[in-house]
Amino acid sequence: MADYAHPEVLVTTEWVANHRSDPTIRLIEVDVDTTAYEQGHIDGAVGWNWQTQLQDNIRRDLIEKSVLERLLGQAGVSNDTTIIVYGDNNNWFAAYAFWQLKYYGHKDVRLMNGGRKKWLEEKRPLTTDAAKVPSTTYRATGPDESIRARKEQIFPIIERKSTAQLVDVRSVDEFTGKIIAPPGMNETAQRAGHIPGAANIPWAQAANEDGTFKSYDQLKQLYQAKGVNGSDPVIAYCRIGERSSHTWFVLKYLLGYHNVQNYDGSWTEWGNLVGAPIEKEIAAAAR
């Protein structure tokens, strides 16, 4: 991991196994729900439900700062705690939690490289006992708007009034408009396709088979092959902002691009937005 621009934001499964009882560290397993957590998790880890705890489903937005403060306090996190997040699906929900924690200013957040998948493949121990942690009082800073993109920023890019690059991290079928959302997903859009001018680099291409991130050189080649080299600001998007937070993490921390934002409104917003142009042509996927 030493070749990455910021290797300090990743820890190995071995490191977690050796440090999980450290009182200055809090392990948090983040997934779409807590089903996997309840079936077995790393000893000492707190479980977060992405759907109900990290999303405001009334406003269809991030949770407010006060809600995050309460959530972190319940997880026994103080402002100087080192938070290690991990989860299923190559850490995509964990990466979203990382992004949201950075948005609200937590200083030391790290991802467990390989997530739950690698931990299980190595046959490391699990427990079904819920973590017992002392509550704390947490005070968040931020929000840091420099890492979050809004729909108003997208129009100038399409109109060539801004030089930012758009990266659509969804599957090729979503990008080309063959499907609107992955099978089984109930939050969707009225229209299929992609934002004009976006490069399609599916998020999972950044991961190895065991869920760990590919090497610096492999990642650099992957993104530069589609013209995404960090010379211009980059905005990543997907369907609801979780897969794109994984790509945001790769571009900002592993490759060291200086200006990277996650457009968490993503296709659920853009595909429903009146007056927002879209593209659907198959040829665009080869850009």
For 198-244, write each residue's pLDDT tens digit.
999 999 999 999 999 999 999 999 999 999 999 999 999 999 999 99
Q: Which parts of the chain have pLDDT scores under 50? A: 283-287
Which residue in 161, 185, 152 sits closest to 171, CA to CA?
185
Kindly state whether residue 177 falls inside one of the protein's structural domains.
yes
Q: Are residues 120 and 31 in the same domain?
A: yes
Type of residue at 17: A
**Number of Cβ within a 10 Å radius of residue 74:** 14
Kindly state whether residue 1 falls inside one of the protein's structural domains.
no
Kindly state whether residue 66 falls inside one of the protein's structural domains.
yes
Kindly state whether residue 252 falls inside one of the protein's structural domains.
yes
Kindly state whether residue 31 falls inside one of the protein's structural domains.
yes
Q: Are residues 127 and 172 in the same domain?
A: no
Q: What pLDDT does residue 282 have?
A: 56
Q: What pLDDT does residue 58 have?
A: 84
Q: What pLDDT does residue 142 have?
A: 83
Triad 161, 235, 8: Cα angle to 5°: 140
Kindly state whether residue 19 falls inside one of the protein's structural domains.
yes
Q: What pLDDT does residue 234 have?
A: 98
Q: Please give the Cα distance from 269 to 154 (Å, whole number).
A: 12
Q: Are residues 16 and 137 in the same domain?
A: yes
Q: Are residues 114 and 219 in the same domain?
A: no
Q: Are residues 117 and 16 in the same domain?
A: yes
8 A C-beta contact, residue 77 and residue 136: yes
Q: Please give the Cα distance from 211 to 152 (Å, whole number).
A: 34
Q: Are residues 31 and 60 in the same domain?
A: yes
Q: Are residues 103 and 17 in the same domain?
A: yes
Dmax (CA) for the chain in angstroms is: 55
Which residues does the annotation mark as catalytic?
238
**Number of Cβ within a 10 Å radius of residue 1:** 16
Q: Are residues 90 and 212 in the same domain?
A: no
Domain boundary among 82, 107, 142: 142
- Burial status of residue 206 (CB atoms within 10 A of its CB: 0-12, 13-18, 19 or more): buried
8 A C-beta contact, residue 27 and residue 86: yes
Domain boundary among 94, 127, 142: 142
Kindly state whether residue 2 falls inside one of the protein's structural domains.
no
Q: Residue 13 belongs to a domain with what CATH number?
A: 3.40.250.10
Q: What pLDDT does residue 2 have?
A: 63
Residue 136 lies in domain: 7-142
Domain boundary among 95, 113, 142: 142
Q: How many domains does the chain have?
A: 2
Kindly state whether residue 74 falls inside one of the protein's structural domains.
yes
Q: Are residues 137 and 259 in the same domain?
A: no
Q: Are residues 114 and 177 in the same domain?
A: no
> What residues contact 219, with CB distance under 8 A and at least 6 apart?
206, 213, 250, 254, 255
8 A C-beta contact, residue 39 and residue 128: yes
Q: Are residues 48 and 128 in the same domain?
A: yes
Q: What pLDDT does residue 284 have?
A: 41
HEC letters along the chain: CCCCCCHHHEECHHHHHHHCCCCCEEEEEEECCCHHHHHCECCCCEEEEHHHHCEECCCCEECCHHHHHHHHHHCCCCCCCEEEEECCHHHHHHHHHHHHHHHCCCCCEEEECCHHHHHHHCCCCCECCCCCCCCCCCCCCCCCHHHECCHHHHHHHHCCCCCCEEEECCCHHHHCCCCCCCCCCCCCCCCCCECCCCEECCHHHHECCCCCECCHHHHHHHHHCCCCCCCCCEEEECCCCHHHHHHHHHHHHHCCCCCEEECCCHHHHHCCCCCCCCECCHHHHHC
pTM: 0.95
Q: Are residues 73 and 44 in the same domain?
A: yes
